[in-house]
Amino acid sequence: MAYPSQLGLQDASSPIMEELMNFHDHTLMIVFLISSLVLYIITLMLTTKLTHTSTMDAQEVETIWTILPAVILILIALPSLRILYMMDEINNPALTVKTMGHQWYWSYEYTDYENLCFDSYMVPTSDLKPGELRLLEVDNRVVLPMELPIRMLISSEDVLHSWAVPSLGVKTDAIPGRLNQATISSNRPGLFYGQCSEICGSNHSFMPIVLEVVPLKNFEDWSLSMI
């Protein structure tokens, strides 16, 4: 999760998030280079006496400043498309979890099991135990096995919601009447926090997501204890 007054992204816990962070840095570097060049040209124009005022055209420089932005756009678009297709890949999931957005809580259904489903409500501030995080803890966590591709099916029962866990690099809209799909996999065990990321009504801020990612053995024990 994010630490207080954090700037930038949360630590990556999945291969996809690592790719996204690399892409973020790559794009930001291009933005820095363009901004400094533009700033340099602006100061140059403001501080020097303009010369060549009678020049009507300059074919060479115009060719360069037409083609160069196109090349830069391609350098951004290609890695972006690569990650887009990687995120779309289903990768033979080991487990499927369906989540439905409600006003204002999430419900989860482990569709590989006969009867494993529950609602996940936020723990109100007055009920928090010492050390627990305000507005982020839930009463029933989503337990998932680590290092396995998991297919999340995301939809909604009422209005638009969005199921998002920043450290795993997922943010998928929950749309009534439509089933969206995302693949998640975590490199390590731990608690991963997320929040609804679509303004969905008065308690939009109070429907967090908590994933408890554990080794496979512990997941099996948990799922057997839940059935």
200 binds Cu ion (CB under 5 A): yes
Of 44-52, 90-98, 142-150, 157-165, which part binds Cu ion (CB under 5 A)?
157-165
Shortest distance (Å) from residue 198 CB to Cu ion:
6
Which two structure tokens, joined as six digits, stand for 73? 């756009």
Q: Kindly compute the dihedral angle of the four CA atoms of residues 46, 52, 58, 62, in this order, to the nearest 10 degrees.
A: 0
User: How far is Cα 191 from Cα 129, in angstroms, rounded to an integer?
Assistant: 16
Shortest distance (Å) from residue 207 CB to Cu ion:
5
Nearest CB to Cu ion, comparing residues 141 and 161: 161
From residue 169 to residue 198, the character string flagging contacts with Cu ion as x (rule: CB under 5 A) and all else as - is ---------------------------x--
Shortest distance (Å) from residue 227 CB to Cu ion:
28
Tally of CB atoms within 10 A around 203: 12
Q: What is the DSSP string of 84-127?
A: HHHHH-----SEEEEEEEETTEEEEEETTSSS-EEEEPBPPGGG
Nearest CB to Cu ion, comparing residues 144 and 200: 200
Report yes or no: 119 and 107 within 8 Å, Cβ to Cβ.
Answer: yes
CA 87 to chain centre: 11
Among 161, 184, 193, 219, binds Cu ion (CB under 5 A): 161
Of 115-123, 137-145, 158-166, 211-219, which part binds Cu ion (CB under 5 A)?
158-166
Shortest distance (Å) from residue 112 CB to Cu ion:
26
Tally of CB atoms within 10 A around 135: 15
Task: Name, in order, each residue with C-beta under 8 angstroms of 159's C-beta and a sequence gap of 6 or more.
Answer: 101, 103, 176, 200, 201
Strand-pairing partners, residue 105, are 102
102 binds Cu ion (CB under 5 A): no
Nearest CB to Cu ion, comparing residues 122 and 200: 200
Interface with Cu ion (CB under 5 A), residue total: 3
20 binds Cu ion (CB under 5 A): no
Nearest CB to Cu ion, comparing residues 151 and 161: 161
Q: List residues binding Cu ion (CB under 5 A).
A: 161, 196, 200
